[in-house]
Structures are given as C-alpha cells and as structure tokens.
Amino acid sequence: MQQKKKTLGEFIIENQSEFKFSSGELSKLINAIRLAAKVVNHEVNKAGLIDILGAAGDTNIQGENQQKLDVLANERFIQTLKNREIVCGIASEEEDDFIAINSLDNQHQNKYVVLIDPLDGSSNIDVNVSVGTIFSIYRRVTPIGSPVTLEDFLQPGINQVAAGYIVYGTSTMLVYTTGHGVNGFTLNPAIGTFYLSNPDMQFPESGNIYSVNEGNYIHFPQGVKDYIKYCQMEEGDRPYTSRYIGSLVSDFHRNMIKGGIYMYPKSSVNSEGKLRLLYECNPMAFLAEQANGKASDGFGRIMEIQPTELHQRVPFFCGSRLMVEKAEEFMAAGQ
C-alpha cells in the first residue's frame, strides 16, 4: 500500500517540540516563509509571460542592478512577515538597512529576526534558469520589549535557530533546518502544498563535482588555483566534473544530493569574495553542517565569523566535508 506523504504543515506541527523554548512562534514564522515562498514561486513561474522580466532600473546597496523579480520577491517576503507580526526585524540583501518591525501594540514581544536573500541567482531569470530564496533566523540578543538594533542582526552563524532555501527549479522545493538535520519538501503546484520528499538530506562525504566561476581563475589566490588543478588531474576518481549554474542555491542543492564542492573565493578584483556572509554564507553553512557537510572561508569555519556589517562579504567554500578539507589544505599551502 502506498504511504501517505507528509505535508510541510504536518511536519512543522509534529516537530514543534524540538524547539527548546517553544511558544509556537518559530513554527508560525516557518509557516509564513512557506506562504511567501508559494507567492514568489507563482511570480517566478509566470516571469516569461508578463512584463516583470528584466532590470528594475535601480541599483541595490551591493552595486548590482536590481532585477524586477528581485524587488518583487523582496516586497513579498517582507510584506508576508510584517503582516503576520511574527518577527521583530528583517534584513535583506535588497535593503540598505535592517527593518525594525513594531507590533501593533508597540510592545515588541516578538523574539526573532529574519535575514533574507529574496532572489538568489537573479542574473539567471532572463534565461529561464533556476533561482532561489535564502533565509536565516536568529533569536534577538537585545531585550524583548525594546526595538531591535543592529546588534540583533550581526550575530555569528552559530547562533542561527533555523535556516533554509527555496529553489524555484524544475520543481519548487523548500529545504530547511532547525538544527535537527535537513529536510526537503517539494511543492505540488496543482494544489499548492509542499510534501516531505527528501527527509534527512546528507552531503556525501566526498564527491566528484567542483563548482566555481573559472572565468575568474587568473584573479584567484594561489591555493585556489592549485586546488582547481588538483580537481582536473587524472588520478583516482579525478578529474572531477565541473558544474556551475551561477545560482548558489541551485549549485548547493545539486552538490548536496550528488556530492561536490562550491567555491566563491576572494580574488584580486573582489578582495572579500562576492557572497554575503549574513544572507548567503551563514544559512548555507548551517544547512551544510546539518547535512554532514562543511563550510569554510578557506581557513576557518564560516559560522564562527563575527559579522561587522550587514552586507559583509566573505570567501566561501562549501560542500562535501572531505572536499572542503582538501581545499583548505591547498589554501594553507598556497599562503
């Protein structure tokens, strides 16, 4: 007999007891993200049909052209979280500053802050390639009852209480962790329900995929150049396969399932790398570690970095544990 598939809603309720000081708030928050994900999924899916493709004409704080769907996804996520009054603050790749959310009674009783990359891989929108959303959730560190401050957002990744991503791909999936492993849910678009499709996701200990923008090779540090050459060498299970989509979410998702390493190193033109510590690297690092993988800046653990600014960038090496450790060896030797 075929077993009934568990829905994300059922899964959230069943696992609520995992949260140490559970008041149901974190469950409600993940529910709100599930709702926003469905709305953005709908927008992404019809992107080719209506005039929301292409650049919005503004530049965000990162100096990137904002694509129209970047702006739309940002608005949808922020609005959904605001409407439900379940967080006290939001920071987004697309916003210059964090947004403090005052509850209607002005009592500031909500405990959580959310950090989001509303649309990841947005340069892929125009060519119908998978994009994603990344989210990261922390408990505020300043006292409940007062408005949030920057300090609530500048926490090291080890403080995350939940993190995840949505990949708007051949099917749409929501993958998240609350620190008890990683679970993946696939959207059935016919009825708008996410079903548990990938329970307890794990990176293979090693793999044969390396994902890096090799066009930047000439600008990479010596350690990265040497590691790339190692990946290409004929020996044992090498040469590895090169796969790079240009959407962190999609590259990570594939590597978690198949085994691989994703790298966005610093370079002579990007002195800190490109990816953002708070919106991209920390949530992916939390997921990676919960899935038996590893995330490093080339020398140390991503989640232990103390952030100093909201839009901070860091070099990023993430994926199958043994592969990330090998890349770290090359980085240390290339010094």
Residue numbers at the binding site for ligand AHG (CB under 6 A): 64, 93, 117, 120-122, 213, 246-248, 274
Which does residue 206 touch among ligand AHG, Mn ion, none (CB within 5 to 8 A, set by kind)?
A: none
Q: According to the binding rule CB under 5 A, does residue 117 interact with Mn ion?
A: yes
Q: According to the binding rule CB under 5 A, does residue 120 interact with Mn ion?
A: yes
| CB 144, min distance to ligand AHG, A | 31
- In contact, 298 and 265? CB cutoff 8 Å: yes
User: Exposed (0-12), middle (13-18) or buried (19+): which is 254, by Cβ within 10 Å?
Assistant: buried
| CB 211, min distance to Mn ion, A | 14
Which does residue 247 touch among Mn ion, ligand AHG, none (CB within 5 to 8 A, set by kind)?
A: ligand AHG
84-103: contacts with Mn ion (CB under 5 A) = 93
Torsion of CA 150, 154, 155, 161, to 10 degrees: 70
Residues contacting residue 86 through CB under 8 Å, at least 6 positions apart: 25, 28, 29, 32, 110, 112
Element (H, E) at 228: helix 222-232
| CB 31, min distance to ligand AHG, A | 24
Residues contacting residue 232 through CB under 8 Å, at least 6 positions apart: 238, 239, 240
Residue with smaller CB distance to ligand AHG, 93 or 152: 93
Please tell me whether 280 is known to bind a ligand: yes
Residues contacting residue 40 through CB under 8 Å, at least 6 positions apart: 72, 73, 76, 77, 118, 119, 133, 166, 168
Residue with smaller CB distance to Mn ion, 154 or 281: 281
Count of positions (residues) in the chain: 335
User: Exposed (0-12), middle (13-18) or buried (19+): which is 225, by Cβ within 10 Å?
Assistant: middle
Interatomic CA distance for residues 282 and 67, integer angstroms: 24
Which does residue 16 touch among ligand AHG, Mn ion, none (CB within 5 to 8 A, set by kind)?
A: none
| CB 81, min distance to ligand AHG, A | 18
Residue with smaller CB distance to ligand AHG, 179 or 246: 246
DSSP string, 44-56: HHTTTTTTT-SEE
Please tell me whether 268 is known to bind a ligand: no
| CB 123, min distance to ligand AHG, A | 6
What is the number of alpha carbons within 13 Å of residue 232 lying toward its C-beta? 11
User: Going by DSSP bridges, is the β-strand pair 182-188/193-198 parallel, antiparallel, or unpaired?
Assistant: antiparallel
Which does residue 325 touch among Mn ion, ligand AHG, none (CB within 5 to 8 A, set by kind)?
A: none
Interatomic CA distance for residues 180 and 175, integer angstroms: 13
Residue with smaller CB distance to Mn ion, 14 or 58: 58
Interatomic CA distance for residues 286 and 108, integer angstroms: 27
Pick the stretch among 33-41, 60-68, 180-188, 316-324 that binds Mn ion (CB under 5 A).
Answer: 60-68
Please tell me whether 213 is known to bind a ligand: yes
Residue in 6, 39, 43, 64 binding Mn ion, rule: CB under 5 A: 64
Please give the structure tokens belonging to residue 79. Answer: 């609005």
Please tell me whether 244 is known to bind a ligand: yes
Which does residue 246 touch among ligand AHG, Mn ion, none (CB within 5 to 8 A, set by kind)?
A: ligand AHG
| CB 120, min distance to Mn ion, A | 3
Residue with smaller CB distance to ligand AHG, 110 or 203: 203
Binding site feature residues for substrate: 120-123, 213, 244, 274
Binding site for Mn ion (CB under 5 A): 64, 93, 117, 119-120
Binding site feature residues: 93, 117, 119-123, 213, 244, 274, 280
